A and B are shown apart, each in its own frame.
Chain A
Amino acid sequence: MSYTRSLITGAILATGLTAISAVTASAAECIAPADPGGGWDFTCRTVGRLLTELGLEESTVQVTNMPGGVGAVAFANVAGKRASEGDLLVATSTVGVTQIAQGKYPGGVDVMRWVGMLGTDVGVITVPADSEYETIGDLLDALKADPTSVPVAGSSGAGGWDHIRLLMLADAAGMPGDDYKAIRWVQFDGGSPAVTQMLGGQVGAVSTDLGEIAGFVESGDIKILAALSDEPIPAFPDAPTAKDQGYDVTGYNWRGFYTGGDVSDEDYQAWVDELKSLFDTPEWKEAAEGNGLITVWRGGEEFEAYVADQAKQMEEISRSIGVIQ
């Protein structure tokens, strides 16, 4: 009797395990290589929803969360198992390319086919509204005089994109490379936590993307010392760019997609065309701007070249500031 029960116990367990392997994929799928709630998840869900609503996709685009290793798990999965699946998109951004450039993914940018980018967030350096620093020059001068004087926070760890953008500014200000490590960099789980900790007086400045923290700028709690864009940001035309203040640094965080390296030219081009059609709609413009993004399109071969170039550039920066050897 007891053996029978054990047998049944095992049988039910086995049935369950088999059932899991039978989960099938639907028509089009977007992999967000992060937990629900992050920027990549937003990219997949918004683009997926709009593609269906606007009739560019017949059925619902399935969003799959595949978190792990800042996108490395999804990258490895697609490269290894799904390299030729033509109905698959993976959300990524400058952060993903930074990881690739620093050798933190299993492979380089040439492993994937880069479909296109639909918009970009802009890096900003912010301080509390009542801070003694009025310009980015004030802050950089203080850091040059004593790198330990102002703890700076962001949403990435040391060597991540938020940190690199700050160091690019320090470089442009002529700070010697040996001093980079002395700058006190504090990592928080996102731009908003970093800003609230700055408002609580824990750190002196924050380097991160504008989108997530735009509300604090509008409410007047914090001010932008420098926008890391070529042109002033449309939503905050008064915020000065770093370029205008004599520091030739830009730091975008674009949002886009890649697909497997063995996808046919036909399927690849179909994705490029479909995303371009989406990009041209007022619905995308509204969704993107609602989230603090600037709408910029780069697709197909142009985007491939852009990503390859950016990865190379990122690798050089990472090496020059000592993030990689």
Chain B
Amino acid sequence: MDILTSLIGGFAVAVTPLNLALAVFGCFAGTLIGALPGLGPVNGVAILIPVAFAMKLEPGSALIMLSCIYYGCMYGGRISSIMLNIPGDEPAIMTTLDGYPMARKGQAAKALGISAVASFTGATLATLGLTFFAPLLAKAAIHFGPADYFALYVMAFATIGGVTGVNPFKTLLAAVLGLLLASVGLDPATGTARFTFGSYHLYDGFDPIVAIVGLFAVSEIIMYFESHATSGAGPAKLGRALPRLREVFEGFPAALRGSVIGFVCGVLPGAGASLGAFVSYSTEKQISDKKGTFGTGDPRGIAAPEAGNNAASGGALIPMLTLGVPGSGTTAVMLALLVSLNIQPGPLLFERQPDLVWGLIAALYLANLVLLLLNVPMVGIFTRLLSLPQWLLMPIVVMVSFIGIYSISHSSFDLFVMIGFGLLGYALRKFEISLVPVVLGLLLGADMENNLRRALSISGGDFGVLLQSPIALVIYGFTALMLLFSFGIAMRRRTAPLED
């Protein structure tokens, strides 16, 4: 077996005392960076690239440390989703839906345990996929054109009405608001400025991380001021500090399904981890939510999106390494790192620098193992966060996010945007409109539009192009089936509400 020999060679590169120490450091730092809202993998990797250079690390070692940070962030993002109802990074947004309710019920440790195992499942399956099928999958992904990507986004948005438990009309309204916000900025196809009111700061549109922190964290503070700390949610029940082993595997089948969906989204460079987590969650809800428990703290509602976003992050390395096409902001930074180490990713990377590639892949296996071992005992530390009173915790969280966001963009404008989003979030909460679809609209809207525009540029404006690709037709068929299925469930629930 060629691949196995190469992989063993890779482990020989990765398992040196220095590299192992770097891997543990990377995993730990990554988990923390991921857990802090406003600081995500993009910032984490970008901040630590100079550190790697300053330490005069070998390219292999630098890559190992930074990919451990990358995977670590993906593990860490879920922590603040579950504990604070604030997504630690973009793909962790779906985890708030069931993770936070579980934490409020005193099952924080269980939720963190389940999501750690789900993250491990997703990331490990994706790394296996990367090991054995990378070149093959890259060849397949090439055949996804703009019309097919557009179909994928249509599928995602078609299921959005059912994603949050509340009134589907309010959910749709929120999603439309998100899509509108996504249209702000330079139109990439023509370079025309839209809704920028002459401000250069709006040329790149709204940064999703800024929006997330504003909508979730800043609005929470405003709510708190309003209630004068008298009513409010109050401290959550602490529950057990560590999860039981049996509980941790409760969402395992959901994690497996989520991994597959997330991996596919990751391999497609036009999709990415946020879409992966979103589709994993909505599919899982379609399949498993027979009793309407999703959104109230269902373990499967954590397992599926966490497995999905970790699998997508692993999958995204495939187009990055084999084609030089980054599927996400983080892989773009990893790509930049490779380039600054004089390594040119692309079709020849596996042939030219096998030591490096296989060392990286071996490091990813190690990172996963270290992260699992690190994250299960760390659950105890994070659950204690809940014993901190809200009036102390929330301002600190917002402060850290302010610093995190400023340290990357060096723009006080972003901070005002964040406060603006806080006011918006406050208004939406008052109307009991879920914030998650707003962020999904903002996160995915631009890509959806760009792919539609590309498809139409290719066809010269003929909308028929959207239905000419067999891949797109299959996706639309699947979407129709999913809609029929959920319609059926809704009807059954209406006719026999007491059955369960």
Contacts and interface: CB of A to CB of B under 8 A. Distances in A.
Interface of A: 2-3, 5-6, 8-10, 12-13, 15-17, 19-20, 23, 35-38, 41-42, 45-46, 49, 60, 63-70, 72-73, 76, 104, 106, 148, 151, 156-160, 184-190, 192-193, 196-197, 199-203, 212-216, 218-219, 221, 286-287, 290-292
B323 interface: yes
B475 to A, nearest CB: 16
A5 B396 contact: no
Interface string B226-241: 0011100000000000
Contact of B339 (A2, A202, A213, A291): A291
A25 to B, nearest CB: 10
Given A6-B225, A17-B402, A187-B454, A46 B269 contact: no
Contacts of A221: 347
Contacts of A5: 229, 389, 391
Given A66-B411, A196-B142, A216-B346, A9 B391 contact: yes
Interface stretch (B22-30, B279-287, B325-333, B355-363): B325-333
B221 interface: yes
A45 B340 contact: yes
Interface in B168-190: 186-190
Given A6-B228, A17-B402, A45-B49, A12 B395 contact: yes
Q: Which 3 A-B residue pairings sit nearest by Cβ, starting from the closest?
A: A215-B346, A16-B399, A69-B203
Contacts of A12: 392, 395-396, 399
Contact of B336 (A15, A36, A215): A36
Interface in B301-348: 319, 323-326, 329, 332-333, 335-336, 339-340, 342, 344-348
B336 A3 contact: no
Given A3-B228, A157-B191, A16 B403 contact: yes
Given A37-B336, A68-B200, A104-B191, 10 more contacts: A9-B221, A35-B329, A36-B49, A36-B332, A158-B189, A186-B458, A189-B450, A200-B142, A215-B347, A216-B347
Contacts of B141: 196
Contacts of B143: 200-201
10 contacts: A12-B399, A13-B398, A20-B402, A42-B340, A49-B53, A66-B411, A68-B200, A76-B200, A196-B319, A212-B324
A159 B190 contact: yes
B78 to A, nearest CB: 24
B41 to A, nearest CB: 11
A221 to B, nearest CB: 6
Given A68-B203, A70-B186, A200-B145, A16 B325 contact: no
Contacts of B396: 12
B46 interface: yes
Contacts of A15: 399
Contact of A20 (B200, B324, B403, B457): B403
B340 A215 contact: no
Contact of A72 (B200, B229, B345, B407): B200
A203 B457 CA distance: 10
Contacts of B146: 186, 197, 202
Interface residues on B, range: 35 or more
A153 to B, nearest CB: 8
Interface in B393-448: 394-396, 398-400, 402-403, 406-412, 415
Given A16-B402, A35-B329, A215-B346, A67 B204 contact: yes
A258 B265 CA distance: 40
A36 B44 CA distance: 11
B348 A159 contact: no
A115 to B, nearest CB: 21
Contacts of A69: 186, 200-201, 203-204
B340 A35 contact: no
B422 to A, nearest CB: 11
Contacts of B186: 69-70, 157
A323 B349 CA distance: 39
B323 A192 contact: yes
B460 A148 contact: yes
B144 interface: yes
A232 to B, nearest CB: 21
A201 B142 CA distance: 9
B343 to A, nearest CB: 8
Contact of A200 (B144, B191, B454): B144
B18 interface: no
B452 interface: no
B454 A291 contact: no
A42 B410 contact: no
A235 B444 CA distance: 39
Contacts of A188: 454
A200 B203 CA distance: 31
B50 interface: yes
Nearest to B196: A69
A63 B337 CA distance: 14
B190 A157 contact: yes
Given A16-B395, A23-B406, A67-B409, A36 B142 contact: no
B210 to A, nearest CB: 12
B344 A290 contact: yes
Contacts of A38: 332, 336
B224 interface: yes
Given A12-B399, A13-B395, A70-B203, A187 B340 contact: no
Contacts of B460: 148, 184
A325 to B, nearest CB: 13
B191 A41 contact: no
A66 B49 CA distance: 17
A219 B346 contact: yes
B293 to A, nearest CB: 34
Nearest to A102: B191
Contact of A202 (B45, B50, B145, B395): B145
A286 B392 CA distance: 52
| Most chain B beta-carbon contacts within 10 A, residue among A148, A221, A286 | A221
B203 A72 contact: yes
B399 A158 contact: no
Contacts of B402: 16-17, 20
A49 B403 CA distance: 25
Contacts of A185: 457
Contacts of A49: 53, 340
B46 to A, nearest CB: 4
Contacts of A41: 336
Contacts of A151: 457-458
B323 A2 contact: no
B36 interface: no
Interface in B12-64: 42, 45-46, 49-50, 53-54
A39 B225 CA distance: 45
A279 B45 CA distance: 28
A187 B446 CA distance: 13
A165 B335 CA distance: 26
A202 B392 CA distance: 54
B229 A73 contact: no
Contacts of B46: 36, 65
Contacts of A72: 200, 203
Nearest to B327: A193
A158 B186 CA distance: 12
B162 to A, nearest CB: 31
Contacts of A19: 399, 403
